[in-house]
Amino acid sequence: MLSGTSAVRIRIVCCTSRHCSIVPIRIAVRPSRSTKH
């Protein structure tokens, strides 16, 4: 659940930057899956 919150927070912060929005969201999801595994 903590991982989900982190991804949402990054999305709001990078919401101002369209390009930065895709970069941070991808990195946050990548490590999230590894930790759960």
Sign of CA dihedral 4, 28, 25, 33: negative
Rounded to whole angstroms, how far apart are CA atoms 37 and 26?
Answer: 17
Segments making up each domain of the chain, as ranges: 2-36
Rounded to whole angstroms, how far apart are CA atoms 4 and 12?
Answer: 13
Per-residue pLDDT of the chain (37 residues; tens, 9 = 90+): 455 555 555 555 555 555 555 555 565 556 555 555 5
Burial 9-28 (b: 16+ CB within 10 A, else e): ebeeebeeeeeebeebeeeb
Give the type of residue at 35.
T
Which pLDDT belongs to residue 1? 47
